[in-house]
Amino acid sequence: MIEPSNPRIAALDRMLELALLINHDLTTSLAAQGLSTSRVSVLWEVLRRGPVTQRELADALHVTARNMTGLVDGLVAGQLVTREPHPSDRRATLVTLTPKGTTAAQQLVRDQSAFADLLFADLPPAELGTFASVLDHVVNRLNEHGLTIAAARKEEG
């Protein structure tokens, strides 16, 4: 009944649709391996950062500390990570990849790379460049200017 009427709205629409599609694909693909997107995002974050506290992970992934406890529990049960004592803060634990976890995380990174290659395979480099720079720009606007939907709503007037 209502169609996007300006190019900005159309772009956001398309972006959200794509995110939904990719997320759905990711979810089903991972479920087949006994993983979930949330746990994988933890796994990736640990691969990227090395041993890291649950607090840092919770902040990075925008979830509560309680939630992170559950996610790490799941990964520990799957023997993908261990909880190691923090050397200088006895309250904290360092979430650390096991060999199995490292292998799994690296495989996931390879999968994502192969996927990216397929996705953008027949795209001229110039277009990919513009695409990436726009994404960069938008992420910065979101991060640095505290841009939110709530803020947008206030400006509607």
Which residues in this chain contact DNA in the complex, by CB under 7 A?
A: 36-39, 53-55, 58, 62-72, 74, 83, 86, 88-93
Q: Which is nearer to DNA, 72 or 97 (CB)?
A: 72
Measured from the CB of residue 148, what is the shortest distance to a second copy in angstroms? 5
Among 7, 34, 87, 99, binds a second copy (CB under 8 A): 7
Rounded alpha-carbon distances, angstroms, from residue 47 to 13, 93, 104, 105, 153: 32, 16, 10, 7, 38
Per partner kind, with CB cut-offs from 5 to 8 A, the member of DNA, a second copy, none near residue 100 is none
| Contact flag: residue 84 with a second copy (CB under 8 A) | no
Minimum distance of a second copy from residue 136's CB (angstroms): 6
The residue to which tokens 């691969």 are assigned: 47
Among DNA, a second copy, none, residue 38 binds (CB under 5-8 Å by kind): DNA
Query: What whole-number distance in Å separates Cα of residue 46 and Cα of residue 48?
Result: 5
Q: Which residues contact 100 (CB under 8 A, 6 or more apart)?
A: 79, 80
Smallest separation, CB 23 to a second copy (Å)? 7
